[in-house]
Amino acid sequence: MEASFVSPLPEKDASASNPYEVFFSLVYPARIKEYERHWRDRYNFLLTHGYKLRSRYHPDWTPSWKTPGTKQKNPVYCEDAHEHVIYMVMDALRTADNSKVCIKRITKASDEIAIGKYLTSEELLSDSKNHCLPVLDDFVDPEDPTISYMIMPLLRDFNDPEFGAHGEVIDCVTQLLEGLVFMHDHLVAHTDLTTVNIMMDAQPILPQGWHFASPSVAPNGYENIKPLPRIDYPVRYYLIDFDGSIRFSPGESPVIKGVGGRDNDPPELITPHIPFDQYKLDVFTLGNVFRKEFQQVKYLNLDFLDGLIPMMMTHDFRQRPTSQAVLDYWYKTRERIPIASARWPLRKPTETIVETVINTVAAARSGVNNLRYFFEEVGLSLVVCLDMLFNLVCVKDKRTWANP
């Protein structure tokens, strides 16, 4: 793994003339950090390949708040004041169509590009259950042949913003399980299937975008983002980072020695010198993602996950089901969940009764079916009548969890 850079403490800008300017010169120094210099030095090279970095990384960058004649001298309101802290990835505009992409710096010793290109070849991308991150382009560094650059769609953490409704969770679980089965069907074990390696195409819920270095604000660098609800604007989830993944040959056993990834909970990792099933490791770690993100502490009313998660996290990998068996079980579980519950709001342990009522009323506005949940929550006795209405309305219901 490449060594990370430690940035020195910021120095006061010599041009600062008052305490206000001194403060901002320390918080927003008018120069890029050490770990950002690689991207500045590759600005023109990347541009020749059709990828334009933000103005901050232009070789002749002058901070916009320092530009002569500018009216905006407060860097808080300047897009180019945001430094980027993850040195191995960077956002860019693809000049051919002005689409936003992500560039990842990779050592050639890694199989990440090869596995990613295999899983997202034109033929395999046509499969709707393929949730592997597409590789749009790749090329070698002009000065260091041990470094390559991989171009990918610009994605966002799958749990930011938080989930808001039952249907959003159900859609996410379905997509990720289908993606896991697809990957295993094509003989690839991820081995590091944790929260940081699951992302989403957030364009439907954030059509105006966000600032890559500060995801909580808009591209202009200071306005707050205003995400739309996933239940109305479905997103697509992706499995990313195949740096530690294993591609098996047809007929090759997946039971081999391994060290896993960021998740230390799988029991088989206690004795890594003993071979274990790499596919079953993925099943466990994805189940652990569901447990930590949806069930543990965060939300109260996700009973439909009670059977799925323990199954995926079976202690003995030899008894643990395959990803296909898990998906089959999930499909059957999903069939028993009324589609009308898709808009039911997720409840948190810290939620008060008043908040529960307010959130439920808001969800109920989406349709009369949701009133059933409201009456159950506040204890009114109209459930029977609403059940009759539910049966009348939901006959031959063709809605989906992503778009109820």
355 and 275 share a domain? no
- Backbone angle region of 250, left / alpha / beta, with phi > 0 → left and psi within -120 to 50 → alpha: beta
297 with 379, same domain: the answer is: no
Token reading at 161: 């913003």
Q: Residue 111 falls within a domain, yes or no?
A: no
Q: Are residues 216 and 264 in the same domain?
A: yes
Last residue of one domain, picked from the residues 71, 87, 103: 87
Q: Is 239 among the domain residues?
A: yes
Helix (H) or strand (E) holding 39: helix 37-41
Nearest C-alpha neighbor of 166 from the set 294, 336, 33, 320: 294
Residues 63 and 163 in one domain: no
Q: What pLDDT score does 13 carry?
A: 54
Q: Which residues pair with 238 in a beta bridge?
A: 199
Counting the structural domains of the chain, the total is: 3
Q: Which two tokens stand for residue 186?
A: 């094509």
Decide if 372 is inside a domain. Answer: yes
Among residues 289, 312, 337, which one ends one of the domains?
Answer: 337
Q: Is residue 285 part of a domain?
A: yes
Cβ atoms of residues 32 and 83 within 8 Å: yes
Q: At what angle do helices 323-335 and 278-290 cross, to 10 degrees?
A: 30
Residue 247: exposure state from Cβ atoms within 10 A (0-12, 13-18, ≥19)? middle
Looking at the structure, tell me whether residues 309 and 374 fall in a common domain: no
**pLDDT per residue of the chain (404 residues) written in tens, 0 to 9:** 444 444 444 554 555 556 656 666 666 777 899 999 999 999 999 999 999 999 999 999 999 998 888 887 788 899 999 998 888 999 999 999 999 999 999 988 789 999 999 999 999 999 999 999 999 999 999 999 999 999 999 999 999 999 999 999 999 999 999 999 999 999 999 999 999 999 999 999 999 999 999 999 999 999 999 999 999 999 999 999 999 999 999 999 999 999 999 999 999 999 989 999 999 999 999 999 999 999 887 788 899 999 999 999 999 999 999 999 999 999 999 999 999 999 999 988 876 666 566 666 655 555 444 445 444 444 444 544 455 445 444 444 445 667 66
Of 49, 69, 87, which residue sits at a domain end?
87
Kindly tell me the burial class for residue 324, based on how many C-beta atoms sit within 10 Å of its own C-beta (0-12, 13-18, 19 or more): middle
Q: What local confidence, expressed as pLDDT, does residue 16 receive?
A: 52
In this structure, the answer to whether residues 307 and 205 fall within a common structural domain is yes
Phi, psi of 89 (to 5 degrees): -130, 155
Q: For residue 30, what pLDDT is reported?
A: 76
Is residue 125 one of the residues assigned to a domain? no
The DSSP line for 352-384 is -HHHHHHHHHHHHTT-GGGHHHHHHHHT-S-HH
Q: In this structure, are 310 and 380 located in the same domain?
A: no
How many CB atoms sit inside 10 A of residue 255's CB?
15
Looking at the structure, tell me whether residues 389 and 307 fall in a common domain.
no
pLDDT at position 144 = 95
Q: How many residues does the chain have?
A: 404
Which residues are registered as beta bridge partners of 92? 101
Quick: pLDDT tens for 213-266: 999 999 999 999 999 999 999 999 999 999 999 999 999 999 999 999 999 999
Instruction: Clarify whether residues 201 and 287 are in a common domain.
Output: yes
Q: For residues 374 and 329, state if they share a domain.
A: no
Question: Which residue range forms the structural domain that includes residue 262?
Answer: 156-337
236: domain CATH number is 1.10.510.10
Does 117 reside within a domain? Answer: no
In three-state secondary structure terms, 143 is: coil
pTM above 0.75, yes or no: yes
Q: What pLDDT, on a 0 to 100 scale, did the predictor assign at position 388?
A: 46
Tokens describing residue 24: 């901002």
CB distance 156 to 210 below 8 Å:
yes
* pLDDT for position 85: 82
What number of CA atoms fall less than 13 Å from residue 376's CA on the CB side? 14
Q: Are residues 315 and 255 in the same domain?
A: yes
Predicted local distance difference test score (pLDDT) of residue 355: 59
User: What's the CA gap between 276 and 256, in Å, rounded?
Assistant: 5
Q: Please check whether residues 259 and 319 belong to one and the same domain.
A: yes
Q: Are residues 133 and 155 in contact, defined by beta-carbon separation less than 8 angstroms?
A: yes
- Whole-number Å distance between alpha carbons of 198 and 176: 9
